[in-house]
Amino acid sequence: MKVDVTGSDSGYTVKAELPGVDKKDIGVKIDGNLVSISAKVERVIRRERYAGAVSRAFSLASEVDEGSAAAEYKDGVLSLTLPKRAPSERNRVQVNRSKSTGPDVAVLAAALRARRQARR
């Protein structure tokens, strides 16, 4: 299966050659930035019949908005329109000092120093 992928600021366009494949035998899966295309194929080459399945999976540079993706199959070419997912805001997590029920680190350090001095 030959695949062309083009990209723009807003998304990607994928064209996959699948001549002679029935539209109901094509599967497309999108998981983040991973796109998988599969198809059940049957074709005649030099009077030898070939039947089986083909598949293709590839990663894109950005994650895809799966809910807005569109697919069209015409003249043996599957065309996917895959808009890029809007970047999510990254929340900064504040790290708080845990409330320890045990002794303070400074107290432990002082006790360790006193113990070392007593051994000398």
Token pair for 48: 């030898």
On whether residue 70 sits in a domain, the answer given is yes
On whether residue 117 sits in a domain, the answer given is no
On whether residue 76 sits in a domain, the answer given is yes
Residue 4: its pLDDT value, please?
92
CA 34 to each of CA 73, 79, 101: distance values in angstroms, whole numbers, following the listed order: 20, 16, 47
On whether residue 19 sits in a domain, the answer given is yes
Residue 98: its pLDDT value, please?
66
On whether residue 31 sits in a domain, the answer given is yes
Q: Residues 66, 30: contact at Cβ < 8 Å? A: yes
In the predicted model, residues of the chain with pLDDT beneath 50 are none
CA 79 to each of CA 62, 107, 119: distance values in angstroms, whole numbers, following the listed order: 19, 68, 79
On whether residue 30 sits in a domain, the answer given is yes
On whether residue 100 sits in a domain, the answer given is no
Domain count, the chain: 1
96-108 tens-digit pLDDT: 776 666 667 777 7
Residue 38: its pLDDT value, please?
93
Residue 47: its pLDDT value, please?
55
What CATH number is attached to the domain comprising 26?
Answer: 2.60.40.790
Range of the domain at 77: 3-83
Place of tokens 């198809």: 39
Three-class SS of residue 16?
strand
Q: With CA atoms as reference, report the closest residue to 16 among 40, 45, 38.
A: 38
On whether residue 104 sits in a domain, the answer given is no
- pTM value is 0.57
HEC string of 63-82 equals CECHHHCEEEEECCEEEEEE
CA 57 to each of CA 12, 14, 28, 43, 108: distance values in angstroms, whole numbers, following the listed order: 15, 12, 10, 22, 56
CA 11 – CA 84 distance, rounded (Å): 5
